Chains A and B, each alone.
Chain A
Amino acid sequence: MISDDEFFYGHKACGGCGGSLAVRIALKVLGERTLLTLPAGCMSAVSFNYPQMSYANNAIISAFAGTGAVMSGLKAGAEAMGLKDYHVLGIAGDGGTADIGIQALSGLIDRNDEGIYICYDNEAYMNTGIQKSGLTPFGATTTTTPAVPGGKGNIKPKKNLFEIVAAHGIAYAATASVGYIEDFAAKVKRASEVKGTSFIHVLAPCPTGWGIDTAETIEVAREVVDTGLWYLAEYYDGEYHLNRKPEEFKDVSHYIKRQGRFKHLNDEDINEIIRSRDKTWDRIAGFKQPGK
């Protein structure tokens, strides 16, 4: 399913960067005739420094808030110019998607312009030095929600971006994790076959911002799914479909305690994270459940 070609190569992302893996795999699925736009953020900062250009396909930087709008423009321009056999792809981080870019994303989905929007979620503004975003989870210390002694770091829960997007009645939306990369690749493929807008929210650990070893990215990205703190699901034909329901959740405290950004949390904090997780799973019990 994926090409041997490498369209994202020689970039300057930190070692073990989950976001760069998502970008690499998405482009390997979509191929060389992809028109990619990225806003200011990690994935453009690491790849567009003249003369070092790390994309082998067409790529253009958008204003931070503009990813969804540039996608619409690329699509309209490509149609007007009579291009055939291409994909329009937008890739933005959690801040670029759930915060500053959410208006343009909403507009894109509202217009149902054909294109694939991928949000790689590393749960904070990493490029600018680990500031809180709307997708920073409860309890994470960031440079703007510092965990002072006795404090919890960020006290706000993560925005429910997947369901915000789905509530537009989008043609296709999915969640994914770089820890389960074949699942992500399959979703990118599926998104590319949809007529209209598609959206994938892929969780992508950032060793620098999360306080993990560079080698741990994939393990952590699996553990967040296996603990039930992140669920893998899709939305299409107006319905939610849960892809994966663990028989038993793995230990949340192991996931939390291995990460520097959570090291200040105590057992009660972890219990709160577990309660919040359980509420989410009660709610998504209404999704179509995976077949046994």
Chain B
Amino acid sequence: MSETRFISGDEAFAQGIRLARALVISAYPITPQTIVVERLAEMVEEGQLDSRFIHVESEHSAMMAAMGASAVGARTFTATSSQGLLYMAECLSYVSGGRFPIVMMNANRATALPWSIYGDHRDSLSLLDCGWIQIYVEDAQEALDMAVQAYALAEAEEIRLPVMVNLDGFILTHTYEPVDIPDQETIDAFLPGRDTWDRLDPENPVSMAVTVGPELNEEINILHHKASINALDTIKKVDDKYRKITGRGYGGALRTYLTEDADYILISLGSISGLIREEADRLRDEGIRAGAVSIRMMRPFPRDELIRVLKGARAVGVIDKDISFGYEGTVYTNVNSALMQGRSHIPTYDFVGGIGGRDISLADIEECFKDMMSGRPEESVKFIGTEVEDDIG
């Protein structure tokens, strides 16, 4: 029997990791990730979770210890945020290139300077190229469900790559919501223990994490790339199975809302997506055909699906809670690249907001839609939610 509890996103994620029976947990504390590791530590101490908790002395070591455990074949979990993610950045490509199916929760948080403990997406988006699968969730329920699904995805034979599941710092990690917690038998039926041939085994010694010279290095990276692409299809299969067993599912790499006949579609990642759907409903009441797309998986990037979904739109906007300084929001760059490959000439607009934890209001979202409808010439970036006049030219 499942039960419903009123818990935060961090706690929901910890519940998912418990249900997934992670055998090794290796983590270093950083706000706003801390609750997830505190809960897991409690579960281990109380005997609810048969797992080894490694008290590492840094995020770099958190990821290296996780790699060591995963290399022996253990299902392994870690969690971090912001500077912690950046501190372990070197290890991320080790882990993905070595094909270790570790799951990591990242509590999205601004990157210094200026210092901020609040959320935006610059931490994870700056590491889009590190070879991990990147998932963004919207609420605490999805956090729990994706903690479980992430292992099914990561460990799938055709993938065998690490998965980073992103939760908006504070907005999601610290907000309490009613969450349905499946029972252990249900999740066991969905996710058996990890069983892999690709591991250090005293009965059959191997070398792992090896050097490959220029003559074959590119080919090893091609294998990595192809494995990543496979996740576009596998995420749907995993979700179908999850829906059949738990009665709850999310679809694939995209969550679309009223896009079939939409003239104006606004794209986003993570927790802001619910508010965009709300605004789309409101605009529909006014007779404006608005729609919303939440990108649930940024890597691999669901290019073809996105092209299909956006095809009939008159304008497409992206809300980026990040900026690649000197250019534009990274989600926008990715969306535009897809549209270009789809031979699309739909005007696109980049709205950058929510930086450093700034709230994005319903009114801000309304402004975004209005801007798309105005037919103004596209600029690369429009900052939203600021009332401070730009008088420095």
Using CB atoms and an 8 Å cutoff, list the residues of chain A in contact with chain B: 32-33, 35, 37, 44-45, 48-50, 53, 55-63, 65-66, 68-81, 83, 85-86, 103-104, 106-107, 110-111, 113
Given A33-B202, A48-B211, A79-B52; A63-B69 close (CB under 8 Å)? no
Contact A53 B210 (CB under 8 A): yes
Contact A50 B57 (CB under 8 A): no
Given A80-B23, A107-B56; A70-B65 close (CB under 8 Å)? yes
Closest 6 CB pairs of A and B: A73-B68, A77-B72, A66-B64, A77-B69, A69-B61, A107-B57
Apart from A50-B216, A58-B205, A103-B57: 17 A-B pairs, beta carbons within 8 A: A49-B212, A58-B208, A61-B209, A66-B64, A69-B56, A71-B68, A73-B64, A73-B70, A76-B26, A76-B69, A77-B72, A77-B76, A80-B52, A81-B72, A81-B74, A107-B58, A111-B55
Report how far A76 CA is from B391 CA in the complex, Å.
57
Contacts of B360 in A (CB 8 A): none
> For the complex, is B206 an interface residue (Cβ under 8 Å from A)?
yes
Interface size class of B (residues with CB under 8 A): 35 or more
Report how far A115 CA is from B90 CA in the complex, Å.
24
> For the complex, is B91 an interface residue (Cβ under 8 Å from A)?
yes
Report how far A65 CA is from B65 CA in the complex, Å.
12
Report how far A86 CA is from B205 CA in the complex, Å.
12
> For the complex, is B45 an interface residue (Cβ under 8 Å from A)?
no
Report how far A46 CA is from B212 CA in the complex, Å.
12
Report how far A37 CA is from B213 CA in the complex, Å.
21
Report how far A73 CA is from B208 CA in the complex, Å.
14
Given A33-B202, A56-B205, A110-B57; A62-B64 close (CB under 8 Å)? yes
Of the A-B pairs whose beta carbons lie under 8 Å apart in the complex, a sample of 19, sorted by A's number, is: A35-B200, A45-B211, A50-B210, A55-B205, A58-B202, A58-B208, A60-B68, A61-B208, A69-B68, A70-B64, A73-B67, A73-B70, A74-B69, A76-B52, A77-B68, A77-B71, A103-B57, A104-B64, A110-B57
Given A69-B56, A77-B24; A35-B72 close (CB under 8 Å)? yes
Contacts of B94 in A (CB 8 A): 63
Given A63-B90, A106-B57, A110-B57; A32-B212 close (CB under 8 Å)? no
> For the complex, is B158 an interface residue (Cβ under 8 Å from A)?
no
Contact B65 A73 (CB under 8 A): yes
Using CB atoms and an 8 Å cutoff, list the residues of chain B in contact with chain A: 23-24, 26, 51-52, 54-58, 60-62, 64-74, 76, 90-91, 94, 200-202, 205-213, 216
Contact B71 A74 (CB under 8 A): yes
Report how far A71 CA is from B201 CA in the complex, Å.
15
The answer, among B60, B207, B216, for a CB contact under 8 Å with A69, is B60
Report how far A79 CA is from B53 CA in the complex, Å.
12
Contacts of A53 in B (CB 8 A): 207, 210
Report how far A66 CA is from B211 CA in the complex, Å.
17
Report how far A66 CA is from B64 CA in the complex, Å.
6
Contact B205 A77 (CB under 8 A): no
Contacts of B24 in A (CB 8 A): 73, 76-77, 80
Report how far A113 CA is from B68 CA in the complex, Å.
13
Contacts of B70 in A (CB 8 A): 73, 77
The answer, among B68, B73, B74, B205, for a CB contact under 8 Å with A32, is B205
The residue in chain A whose Cβ has the minimal distance to the Cβ of B209 is A61
Contact B60 A66 (CB under 8 A): yes
Contacts of A35 in B (CB 8 A): 72, 200, 202
Contacts of B72 in A (CB 8 A): 35, 73-74, 77-78, 80-81, 83
Contacts of A79 in B (CB 8 A): 52
Contacts of B207 in A (CB 8 A): 48, 53, 55, 58-60
Report how far A58 CA is from B201 CA in the complex, Å.
7
Contacts of A78 in B (CB 8 A): 72
Q: How far is the CB of A53 from chain B (nearest CB, A)?
A: 4
Contacts of A60 in B (CB 8 A): 67-68, 71, 200, 207-209
Contact B65 A63 (CB under 8 A): no
The answer, among A45, A49, A58, for a CB contact under 8 Å with B206, is A58
Contact B68 A72 (CB under 8 A): yes
The answer, among B23, B60, B201, for a CB contact under 8 Å with A104, is B60
Contacts of A71 in B (CB 8 A): 68
The residue in chain B whose Cβ has the minimal distance to the Cβ of A54 is B207
Report how far A216 CA is from B51 CA in the complex, Å.
50
Counting chain A CB atoms within 10 Å of each CB, which of B24, B68, B209 scores highest? B68
Contacts of A72 in B (CB 8 A): 26, 54, 56, 61, 65, 68
Contact B212 A74 (CB under 8 A): no
Q: How far is the CB of B194 from chain A (nearest CB, A)?
A: 9
Contact A61 B90 (CB under 8 A): no
Contacts of A56 in B (CB 8 A): 205
Contact A111 B213 (CB under 8 A): no
Report how far A109 CA is from B296 CA in the complex, Å.
41
Contact A69 B64 (CB under 8 A): yes
Report how far A243 CA is from B206 CA in the complex, Å.
37
Report how far A45 CA is from B210 CA in the complex, Å.
9
